[in-house]
Amino acid sequence: MKVSELSPDALARGFAQGGLRLRIGPFVTQLRTDLRSVAEAICFFYGDYELPSEETVCDFHVRLESPPGLRRWYRKQVVFLMDGQNQFQPFPFDLAPPLFEWGLNWCISNRAHQYLIVHSAVVERNGRAVLLPGRPGSGKSTLAAGLLHRGFRLLSDEHALIRPEDGRVVPVPRPVALKNESIPVIRELAPELVLGPSFHDVTKGDVSHVRPPESCVHRAHEAALPGAVVFPRFDCESLTQLEAVPKAAALMELVDNSVNYGVLGTTAFQTLANLVDGATCAALDFADIERALDALESLT
């Protein structure tokens, strides 16, 4: 059964009464929440995703709820719990939908150690995965959304999940998070992409998410070998420049962008070294999104 096969009311009831399971890429998340806004966000962004049966083993058990006490009613807040444990400081209540995404990022980063996890957007075309590793603000999500517009398949917006056994990147297609100026840029560049509502967060600024195209969700079982690693460097005053990065330097930068390198140790080193060995490595300085996309397309 897919999310879209349930009415919004039925979905909200399911989340509130014991929770529902949601399959996102290789992960099954059990979500319990009585917050209507979260149910509506799931309805909007995850309509094409599977709702596994109650017997399905879950990777993450997640709850979003109002905290007890005054904050349930006054200057309302929302908390994210995984396995019953509160993982973050409370967020303003109206940020509950993006908190689900941020919380899921946390779950993957801290639990999915069967993969080597790199902080990276990943897209694919012609069987080759393109990794766009970088810190927040580097432009990776904006580029990923732009590449969707150019016909690339989204594997991930936030995490490259690399299988150590064969070096392939496992898809975990989820809403692409755009921030601040990139929101109107993508709206104008790619009007066919479906953007959700904007939220304002004190630390991140304005945030809006792009719904993954249905085709990306349907192909979530198709892992891909990395063909290119491109380190994006957004600077509003940059000219567009794609330049080769020496493989040793690329490996060091991937290590720096790895989430669980210290957990996996030698396996992580070998996996990243093999990845670099087989991929074109480059850095992309850009300010203009169209020219940046042209440069990236030239790699595939």
Partner 1 sequence: MVSPNRRQLWTVPPEAQLEWRTWNGTSVVFNPASGATHLLDSVAAEVLKRLETQPTSIEELCERMSEFLYSSFGSSLDPTFQIETLVTKFDELGLIAPTRP
The one among 8, 246, 290, 294 contacting partner 1 by CB under 8 A? 246
Q: 147 vs 276, which CB is nearer to partner 1?
A: 276
Stretch that binds partner 1, among 70-78, 90-98, 225-233, 257-265 (CB under 8 A): 257-265
The one among 44, 88, 106, 269 contacting partner 1 by CB under 8 A? 269
d(CA 180, CA 223): 31
For position 247 contacting partner 1 by CB under 8 A, the verdict is yes
For position 249 contacting partner 1 by CB under 8 A, the verdict is yes
Stretch that binds partner 1, among 117-125, 163-171, 216-224, 266-274 (CB under 8 A): 266-274
The one among 121, 132, 251, 295 contacting partner 1 by CB under 8 A? 251
For position 277 contacting partner 1 by CB under 8 A, the verdict is yes
The one among 1, 70, 239, 248 contacting partner 1 by CB under 8 A? 248
d(CA 163, CA 52): 23
Instruction: Answer yes or no: are the C-beta atoms of 177 and 220 closer than 8 Å.
Output: no
The one among 68, 69, 84, 262 contacting partner 1 by CB under 8 A? 262
d(CA 115, CA 165): 9
Q: 249 vs 287, which CB is nearer to partner 1?
A: 249
Instruction: Answer yes or no: are the C-beta atoms of 144 and 178 closer than 8 Å.
Output: no
| Triad 274, 276, 282: Cα angle to 5° | 170
Class of residue 210 by CB neighbours under 10 A (exposed 0-12, middle 13-18, buried 19+): buried
- Cβ atoms < 10 Å from Cβ of 84: 7
The one among 255, 287, 291, 299 contacting partner 1 by CB under 8 A? 255
Stretch that binds partner 1, among 40-48, 64-72, 170-178, 258-266 (CB under 8 A): 258-266
Residue 175: partners with Cβ closer than 8 Å, 6 or more residues away: 45, 101, 157, 196, 209, 210, 211, 212
For position 278 contacting partner 1 by CB under 8 A, the verdict is no
**Parallel, antiparallel or unpaired: strands 91-92 and 60-65:** unpaired
With b for 16 or more beta-carbon neighbours within 10 A and e for fewer, the 118-136 pattern comes to bbbbbbbbeebbbbbbbee
Q: 109 vs 180, which CB is nearer to partner 1?
A: 109
Q: 216 vs 281, which CB is nearer to partner 1?
A: 281
For position 84 contacting partner 1 by CB under 8 A, the verdict is no
d(CA 163, CA 56): 22
Residue 154 beta carbon to partner 1: minimum distance, rounded to whole angstroms: 30
Q: State the residues that interact with partner 1 by CB under 8 A.
A: 246-249, 251-252, 255, 261-262, 265-266, 269-270, 273, 276-277
